[in-house]
Structure 1
Amino acid sequence: MPNTQYTRLAEPQWPLLNKFYRAHQSPMKAVREAQLWVGKRDEIIAGLCLRPMEGGFWLTGLFVDPACRAQGVAANLMAHALQQVEGPVWLFCHPDLRGFYERNGFSTGPLLPYALAERLARYARSKPMIAMAMERRAPALDAI
């Protein structure tokens, strides 16, 4: 399996993530106020956005090149990105993806910030959508 590097994009590289999404006809969009993370081999093969929200982060835009799926890329990309944050991380997904996110530490039925609860209600009017969350805590320091 090819070596994959997982990195946070520097601001001048942000357009590369939208170019990746467009190349795969994905409706995902990178947002400026988010942390943008990618998986790269020779080129970007996966991306996600971690958008700061009141009290935590909203994970959006997780997309893996179809040719690179079922290789652990999405799980590894999330693990690298989430290592850097503390507090709850929320996401919305199709119910069919529930098992994938549960295997990666998320659970259903979270308490959502008002802005996300409103957004979920709007999204759910036109497509099946569930909310999930994971609590991220800072690593404990060993006593000296």
Structure 2
Amino acid sequence: MPEFRCLPDHLRPLADKFYRSQRSAMRTRSAHQVWVAQDPHIIAALCLQPVAGGQWLTSLLVDAEHRHRGVASALLENALEALDMPVWLFCHPNLEPVYQRQGFQACEQPPPELAERLRRYRMKKELNVMAR
């Protein structure tokens, strides 16, 4: 089983390198808390960004060779374990069952800051908002 950890800021470029290796446009930002799964190299990553008294979960990605093995679920569990605040995310409707198993539910009214982002993102792709 991989090791799960929150990367210190000076190692955040490792997550960006992982995203690039997966041909993803995802990138970390200075405001993000970056969590990774390593086995021994990074095989999955996600970002948490403070927003509206909670966290916005973004950029969850698992290396294609490690998908369907519970890595995303375990990474989510480790990253969210100590959070005692709301967590929101945007996802394609097909991914809702994955997040529901992690305790997320459909969210009709996200915080205004996220609602505006969601409106813009929906111009290009189908996304739903979920909260835990």
TM-score band, normalised by shorter chain:
over 0.9
Match of 2:7 in 1: 9
Q: Superposed, which structure 2 residues align to 1:1-144 within 5 Å?
A: 3-134=1-132
Instruction: Please tell me the residue identity of whatever aligns with 1:43.
Output: H
SS at match of 1:87: coil
TM-score normalised by L of structure 1: 0.89
Q: What displacement does 1:84 show? A: 2.3
Conserved in 2, the CA contact under 8 Å of 1:57 and 1:87?
yes
Q: What displacement does 1:94 show? A: 0.5
CA separation in 2, counterparts of 1:11 and 1:27?
20
- Larger Rg belongs to: 1
Instruction: Please tell me the residue identity of whatever aligns with 1:70.
Output: H
TM-score normalised by L of structure 2: 0.97
Q: What displacement does 1:125 show? A: 1.1
CA separation in 2, counterparts of 1:51 and 1:43?
24
CA separation in 2, counterparts of 1:56 and 1:23?
30
Q: What displacement does 1:110 show? A: 4.1
Unaligned runs of 5+ in 1: 135-144
Q: What displacement does 1:109 show? A: 2.2
CA separation in 1, counterparts of 2:91 and 2:37?
20
Q: What displacement does 1:111 show? A: 2.6
- Cα RMSD of the aligned pairs, angstroms, is 0.8
Conserved in 2, the CA contact under 8 Å of 1:110 and 1:133?
no
Instruction: Please tell me the residue identity of whatever aligns with 1:89.
Output: V
Unaligned runs of 5+ in 2: none
CA separation in 2, counterparts of 1:112 and 1:120?
9
SS at match of 1:45: strand
CA separation in 1, counterparts of 2:79 and 2:86?
13
